[in-house]
Structure 1
Amino acid sequence: MALSYKRRRWFSVLILLVGLPLYIVLSISIMNWLGRPPLLLELGIYVALGLLWALPFKYVFRGVGQADPDEGK
């Protein structure tokens, strides 16, 4: 079942306002628990984690910033 534009928009706001801060806190907590790696490795891990969080939500974010396609119907 495909999500409507309004539902995708609502989910994207929820993900950005609730999910992303939780993911950031979790990522930083895990990195602190593992210990501090060398600077370039740490930077690489944070870059990878920064890109990795968005992959599961790619469909939700697609086209959200554009006009509602169902509005004219």
Structure 2
Amino acid sequence: MALSYKARRRWSLVVLLLALPLYIIVALQVTQLFDRPSVLVELAVYVGLGVIWVFPLKAVFKGVGQADPDAKE
């Protein structure tokens, strides 16, 4: 079932305000479990984790910045 425009806007706010900071905290905690690697490896891990969260949530953010397609003009 496809999400409506309003539902996608609401879910995108929830993701950006609640889920993303939580994901950042979890990513930091997971990387601190290991000994500190070299700067390049650490950078690669953070960049990878920063990109991975986008793929499952791509449908939520798609078209949110556009005008409401169901709105009457």
The TM-score, its normalising length taken from structure 1, stands at: 0.95
State the secondary structure of the residue aligned to 2:72.
Answer: coil
- Structure 1 unaligned regions, length at least 5: none
- Structure 2 unaligned regions, length at least 5: none
State the secondary structure of the residue aligned to 2:33.
Answer: helix
Between the two proteins, the alignment pairs up a number of residues equal to 73
What is the aligned partner in structure 2 of residue 28 from structure 1?
28
More helix by share: 1
The TM-score, its normalising length taken from structure 2, stands at: 0.95
Q: Which runs of 4+ in 1 moved over 6 A?
A: none
Question: How well do the aligned residues superpose, as a CA RMSD in angstroms?
Answer: 1.1
What is the aligned partner in structure 1 of residue 71 from structure 2?
71
Counterpart mapping for 1:14-53 below 5 A: 14-53=14-53
- Percent identity over paired residues: 52
